[in-house]
Amino acid sequence: MKVLAAMSGGVDSAVAAARAVDAGHEVVGVHLALSRMPGTLRTGSRGCCTVEDAMDARRVADRLGIPFYVWDFSERFHADVVQDFVDEYAAGRTPNPCLRCNEKIKFEALLDRAIGLGFDRVVTGHYARVEHTDAGPELHRAADWAKDQSYVLGVLTASQLAHCWFPLASTPTKAEVRAEAAERGFTLAQKPDSHDICFIPDGDTRGFLTERLGSDPGEIVDRDGAVVGNHDGVHGYTVGQRRGLSLGVPSPDGGPRFVLEVKPATRELVVGPKEALAVSHLAGSRVSHAGAPHPGLVHGLDVEVQIRAHADPEPARAWLEGDELVIAAVQPLTGVATGQSAVLYEGTRVLGQCTIDRTVAADRSEPGAVAHAEAAA
């Protein structure tokens, strides 16, 4: 089998490529240059896809004895990931750039080119598992749930999964991956994991957005519309945020307030008590199915929903309404923001996802939504 190994310069993708070689496949390594500033250097464990990362990937490829190339996807990355990130915040939404990168870059642009060049599979170091069944490929959680990355792969379609291979799927722990890398003589065996947003290596998301969107002062209001403070721009805030709020009016009970809603059209931030963050229902568009669509979603299916990469899955009921996916949580969810992806699971299997467009607060649930949820059950 002819395999293209996507090599980020990290330990996971290095070991994944090595396992593909061990399996006897014809392997070619490729590193994706995603920065529009080719001289970008790595800062500690922040960021990825830098000059140092490309050099680390090349050293691994040389040790494995496989061809190695660098593909420049910087323009596509800027348009589909960076600009999408800025546009979503400008619209008052909270995007997940890693998920969008997997969707648009690693498993669309890269995979399309790989297939066009005659490769059978694309190998990455993601912690997730693809099962090939009579009904088609299915995406499942990895053996190491602490490192499981199926959430950020929930946007993959059946046709994409058919060409994916995740050799780390059954590896019990990240420590075992590092030990294997050391045994193979890879100098990056103890290289720290990247974290935060790769195109904001200093971690200052608000500064990054302010530089691109400017300041746009507005009012901070409570749930009844009373003004309780001011801000320099709604793009610097996200649902669930507590710190960084300039509030001149204390809450009635003296407790802390949290961002409940971001309204860019009126330049308002709505704040309230922590309990007001609880969400009973959500609905979203940009629906995708990770494999064959589950027939139970037509009328209602008991599932688990995960709303952030590191959140716990929660029991819920989900169904399709036209082009939207509607989800009713068994217990209220917290920290739900529009722009996030809601990924559905049935056991370890990923069913699909949607981008959250609307939510209903648990203490203000719409009677119609609740009735629909009960009828579907």
Q: Is 355 within 8 Å of 110 (Cβ atoms)?
A: no
The values of phi and psi at residue 219, to 5°, are -105, 150
In sequence order, what DSSP letters do the residues of 189-206 get, joined into one string?
TTPPPPBS-TT-TT--HH
Is residue 111 within a helix (H) or strand (E), and if so which, with residue range? helix 110-116
Q: Which two tokens stand for residue 199?
A: 């195109």
Q: Distance (Å, rounded) from C-alpha 68 to C-alpha 169?
A: 24
Q: What is the DSSP letter of 82?
A: I
- Is residue 101 among the annotated active site residues? yes
Q: Which two tokens stand for residue 259?
A: 């961002």
Catalytic, out of 49, 98, 164, 198: 198
Q: Distance (Å, rounded) from C-alpha 12 to C-alpha 38?
A: 23
If you search the block for the tokens 């059978």, which residue do you land on?
Answer: 120
Sign of the four-CA dihedral 272, 278, 284, 286? positive
Strands 26-33, 2-6: pairing kind = parallel
> Which among 343, 284, 281, 285 is positioned nearest to 309, based on CA atoms?
343
- Is residue 48 among the annotated active site residues? no
In sequence order, what DSSP letters do the residues of 274-330 get, joined into one string?
GGGG-EEEEEEEEEEESSSPPGGGGT-EEEEEE-STTSPPEEEEEEEETTEEEEEEE
Catalytic, out of 48, 101, 164, 354: 101
Maximum Cα–Cα distance across the chain:
68
The values of phi and psi at residue 241, to 5°, are -70, 140
User: Which residues are catalytic, by number?
Assistant: 101, 198
